[in-house]
Amino acid sequence: MKHLKLISLVVLLLAVCEHGSSQNLKLNDLEYFEAQGVNILVYNNLFTGGFNDEKNAGIELIHHGVRTAQGGAVRLSSTPEQWNLVPAISSRKVDHESKSIESVLRYEDFDFDSRVVVTAKGNAVEISVYLDKPIPASLEGKAGFNLEFLPSKYWGKTFLMDGHSNLFPRYVVGNTITRPNIEKLKQFKGYVTSDDRGTGRFIDPLPLETGHTIILAPDEPERLVKITSHDADLMLFDGRVLAQNGWFVVRSLLPAGKTGKVLTWTVEPNAIKNWVREPNIGFSQVGYLPSQQKVSVIELDKKDKPLSKASIYKIEEDGKTSEVFSGNTIAWGDYYKYHYVKFDFSTVNTPGIYYIQYGNIRTNNFLIESNIYDKITDATSDIWIPIHMNHISVNEGYRMWHGEPFKESYLQAPPNTDHFDLHAQGPSTDTKYEPMETIPGLNIGGFFDAGDFDIETGSNIFVVQNFVQTWEYFKPLRDQTFVDEKQRYVDLHRPDGTPDVLQYIEHGTLNLVAQAEIIGHMAQTLSNSVLDNYHHLGDAASITDGLPYNPNLGPYEVAQDGKSSGVKDDMWAFTSRNPNLDLRAAATFAGASRALKGYNDDLSERALVQAKRLLKEAAELLVNQPQNEGERGQGSADVATNLQLYITTGEQQYVDKFQELLWKALEHKVSSNILTAFHAIPYMDASFKEKLRPYVVKYKEYIDELEKDNPYGVPIHLGNWAGSGDVVSFGTTICFANRHFPNIVDASHAFKTTNWLFGCHPYHNYSLVATIGAVRPKEVFYGNNRADFSFIPGNVAPGILFRQPDHFENYDDWPFLWGQNEGTIGGNTNYLIFGSAFKNLVK
């Protein structure tokens, strides 16, 4: 039977290879190799010096529309983790005549250079590694060429290594060995990488298979890849042994003592003949109001011939379906890799259950109903936000989301410390505390930043500001969460008689005011001191032992009184002073003071005291501190701070300064600053609104330009973090623009944001908000439960990530890429105020 199965696989392989054998790869004008169904990118996306291995760089394979392989480069580990060293790409040369791309990869720490040349050879590419000098002795047996494959696209499928068949495992299995940790630490930028409980050893995975020819997924033509090397062994590793975000790695070691061409691979991705990507029919999974404009944006392969018609079908009470509308599709044009047409079905306005039919593609069902937007923020406010409350335990029914984290408070970060989350402590502490001294009283309130458990002060400032504006503008009385600050306990789905948003304002303000009072200014962050804690998955309360570190105790020793330990797991406070951050905090404190008055008067008064002090001190510090024109916080933060203090105190000095700064900010960039101006309108006289009108006209021109820029009419971000936040801010600004200037900015533009968030976007049509969508929201997110391939309800994904030069993606079966799947406390509270403003606009 085994013999027959092997023959069957080989026959299938030969048939598939013959099927696609005529499709030669070409080097296109965008400088990557291309055949229909196959894109091979060669260092179009580079490794970063910040977060190192983000699984988004190197030699990448986009295989029948999905990026299935990446990381192709000379690496120093068989299964690279995020903080392993990555090579700098010091040069990249494209030669169209020879159909090759040549790049130099350098490891500065080892003075080690390699040259990688990728050349099109028919329907394959040849990857060759050249060395001008032998590899350093310290890297012998460590330096090798790797190419990593996405586990979710291969588990459950077969592979052949030199004809021997096997299965890619769904869950990590395999053998490991241990070795001294000193070798590993050299590759990790000097960070402590693991709590090895004193053993002094780390684990290394052993290869699953070794040979000279590996064929991945011969049973799945869309994923079939053949790799051959005649001059080196190919080894297949499962990177998930070391980290849940690891990939399947094909690797060959570089030979010691050799120069010139030292390694050659032939990589042949199968290309299905005449393959055309299935249309992606973008529409709102939440549904539509009967009266709103309803436009589906259909994303097409450029080889696909657009159909002239699409239809709407209604599902009746007896389960039967009938076509209720057929209309023309209108070409929008090309946008990066794909072609787009639009299908307007606004005339369909009878409440009911519907789906779109385009050719032989049928979408899942959606609703047309007058109340479809009523609950779009409930999961975010009821579940996601309270789960991210720090320094407090959070329960939901039978499930404890987390216990009380970080009972030991925080240690003062030592001077001249670089942090693995891109923070740094400067040459001094800027506080009265000695390095590594416990700063008491910071373990109160605040919100986890995202999929990790730190408090990013800048984000928390923005968060409280979002809560305050939501409260002041819309007074949401929703009460579904029990919060007891004294007992440090939260229980979901349990009303306690107080509006939840008001309690969230209190919780966030408690931590921020504590920072201002105890440290004297705002900390950059309250974060992990140990890298192993930083990538912790599970209960936040288990990251640390809850006991302050005592240097007089041995490792893992607990004091006799049980009040301290020798475990270096305490979180650190990074306290270098940033007056721009203080300015932003002052604005938030001023608003929080108003919101908390009559609910927590003591905290309200303390917040106002800190708002005035921080504004005064920050202004004095900034006089002698040079500012970059585009520095985050400067200008716009000062505008908002003075506005908030004027609203709170009514003092003339603040409104004068606000007016002085606002118009300069609007001249600099209308789209970034006009929302602050809208917030000022209720507190200014009529002349202010008239003076603002030309800027609103200018903002309307910006909206119109977006219609020409892309088929969705929203600001699409093309960086390493996807753009849901930009789209949400755009929607909020439109809601307030329409509120104050309905004759200039029409309400219909706000629906572009809901359409995008709920499914009308590139790559797929899933809702980007967890559990929000009639049938198909995204199902996996980068949260602290990401190892479970799950989600936290109400999470808003960053969304559709752009990969240079022309590829959009959002994985819904692989949560571990934060740039497309990690919701943040700032982004989700930004969604909360948008949703509140949008629901108000709808009413």
Choose among 122, 101, 129: nearest CA to 232: 129
**How many residues belong to the chain?**
843
Q: What is the DSSP letter of 384?
A: I
Of 34, 81, 570, 822, the catalytic one is 822
Give yes or no for a contact between 411 and 529, defined as CB atoms under 8 angstroms apart. yes
Give yes or no for a contact between 370 and 377, defined as CB atoms under 8 angstroms apart. no
Report d(CA 513, CA 521) in Å as an integer: 9
Phi, psi of 116 (to 5 degrees): -110, 125
Give yes or no for a contact between 674 and 663, defined as CB atoms under 8 angstroms apart. no
Give yes or no for a contact between 804 and 790, defined as CB atoms under 8 angstroms apart. no
Report d(CA 524, CA 577) in Å as an integer: 8
Of 162, 484, 557, 813, the catalytic one is 813
Strand runs labelled E in 479-549? 481-484, 489-492, 525-527
DSSP H or E segment with residue 281: strand 280-282
In the chain, the amino acid numbered 377 is: T
User: Is residue 266 classed exposed, middle or buried when 0-12, 13-18 and 19+ CB atoms within 10 A define those classes?
Assistant: middle
CA distances from 91 to 76, 87, 107, 675, 832 (A): 20, 12, 13, 43, 45
Report d(CA 212, CA 578) in Å as an integer: 56
140 classed as catalytic: no
User: Is residue 591 classed exposed, middle or buried when 0-12, 13-18 and 19+ CB atoms within 10 A define those classes?
Assistant: buried
Choose among 518, 538, 536, 520: nearest CA to 528: 536
316 classed as catalytic: no
CA distances from 273 to 21, 24, 38, 266, 380 (A): 8, 11, 11, 20, 45
Question: How far does the chain reach from its first CA to its final CA, in angstroms?
Answer: 67
Report d(CA 723, CA 71) in Å as an integer: 24
Omega cis (within 30) before 805: yes
Report d(CA 214, CA 228) in Å as an integer: 7
Phi, psi of 655 (to 5 degrees): -70, -35
Beta bridge partners of 238: 248
Query: Which residues are CB-contacts of 742 (< 8 A; sequence separation ≥ 6)?
Result: none
Within a 13 Å sphere around the CA of 592, how many CA atoms are in the beta-carbon half? 37
Phi, psi of 703 (to 5 degrees): -60, -45
Choose among 807, 719, 792, 793: nearest CA to 762: 807
Q: Is the dihedral of CA 603, 609, 611, 617 positive or negative?
A: negative
Choose among 97, 96, 101, 145: nearest CA to 119: 101
CA distances from 668 to 641, 657, 718, 736 (A): 18, 17, 22, 20
DSSP H or E segment with residue 103: strand 100-107
CA distances from 548 to 140, 407, 440, 553 (A): 42, 8, 10, 11
Report d(CA 525, CA 729) in Å as an integer: 24
Beta bridge partners of 768: none
Report d(CA 804, CA 814) in Å as an integer: 20
Strand runs labelled E in 76-223? 88-95, 100-107, 112-121, 124-131, 144-149, 158-161, 164-167, 176-180, 201-205, 209-211, 213-216
Structure token digits, residue 511: 């931590």
Report d(CA 695, CA 564) in Å as an integer: 59
Q: What residues are labeled active site?
A: 813, 822
